[in-house]
Amino acid sequence: MSSLPLRGIRVLDLSTVLAAPVTATLLGDFGAEVVKVEEPGRGDFTRGRAAEPGGRSLQWLQEGRNKKSITLDLRQPRGRELLRRLIPNFDIVVTNYRPPTMERWGLAPDDLRALHPAGVFVFITGYGLTGPYRDRGSFDRIASAYSGLTYVSGEPDRPPVRSGFSVIDFMSAYLSAFAAMVALREREVNGGEGQIVDLALYEAGFRAAEDAYLAYSAHGEIRERLGNKNPYIVPASDFSTQDNRIVSLHAGTDTLFARLCDVMGQPRLAQDPRFHTRHARSANQDALYALIEDWTATYSADDVVKLLTDAGVPASPVMSMADIAVDPHYRDRGTLVAVDDEEFGVVDMVAPLPHLSGTPGRIRTLGPRLGQHTDEILSRELGMSDDELRRLRADNTI
């Protein structure tokens, strides 16, 4: 079995719901030792669907994997003192508490840099550490609204909608894990110091806005809701099939469009003046989409996808979780992995991603019990005795 590439890297997960904890999960998947600080008696937000407070939910099983759990009440001065003593023992600290909270606790960026100059401190906050909105709170839904993502999502004649998944939380986690590695490389390879990584939650969504802001900046154009259509790539949309399913296809280049026309049995459409160029297809997309819908309506979703993919046209059914569970590609590629948990039995979860050929990620442990490693970490890192731990537990500090 290959070694894990981040072995020896130590991460303190000082966060809850959802981008910051997932950042730590990603690092843990590839070998970092991750210690998660949780509130006594309650724990991380992702435990919330458990049968009892502080229990283990299915979501926690996944997002708490490869982590050790300790409990510290950071509202108490003694809890914050213990945290400050812990921090210098870690390479990376990930947090998403709002700036006013961290300042009140004496854990603002400057405080942390003074405490641990070599540390990489990842702050994922609603609006960043600077700017007039820095003190505001946020969640994925709010960040989606503020980033412009919600505005462009939905049908043109309906109110905007948020994505069905917490996409900005996870995009923020990917960016933050990348940034932590960049900062760590600067320290380890180039002899640099520690750094503050400052990511506002909305910035991950805004970075994904393609050229929408450029179009407004240069021409005053505001991208509006277009449903499943793309204003510049036609045809690229979703279509109903004979068996009442939906298929997504993309034939937005001239070559792909010609292949689509052949599959539809209408090769002359590729030379039709309404459709023969990318610009023409964009200007006449409603007429083109009506023709494609008429064709897909005569086949099942599986048949449509086979005909298109056999012709080299990218297509997929619109998949539910039930579809994914029986899809052979997910299983064969290893996107899903079966794990055996003492509480839940055998369940499937998302594998460590992305796939590395030489040093792939690994699920070593599943989400732990609340505070399972408190005694281990405090005694090992801070040299605390059993008597000291009992006293801390008696006054609910841990």
Give the CA angle between residues 229, 230, 232 to the nearest 5°: 145
* Omega within 30 of 0 (cis) for the link into 100: no
* Residues in contact with 391: Cβ distance below 8 Å, sequence separation at least 6, in sequence order: none
Give DSSP secondary structure letters for 259-322: HHHHHTT-GGGGG-TTTSSHHHHHHTHHHHHHHHHHHHTTS-HHHHHHHHHHTT--EEE---HH
Amino acid symbol at 97: Y
DSSP state of 203: H
Sheet of 236-240, strand order: 236-240, 246-250, 315-317
Rounded distance, CA 351 to CA 65, Å?
Answer: 11
Specify whether 169 is catalytic: yes
Q: Are 282 and 231 in contact (CB under 8 A)?
A: yes
Burial class (CB in 10 A: 0-12, 13-18, 19+), 391: middle
Catalytic residue among 140, 169, 198, 340: 169
Enclosing H/E stretch for 381: helix 374-382
Rounded distance, CA 93 to CA 100, Å?
Answer: 18
Rounded distance, CA 392 to CA 79, Å?
Answer: 9
Rounded distance, CA 87 to CA 201, Å?
Answer: 24
Positions marked catalytic = 169
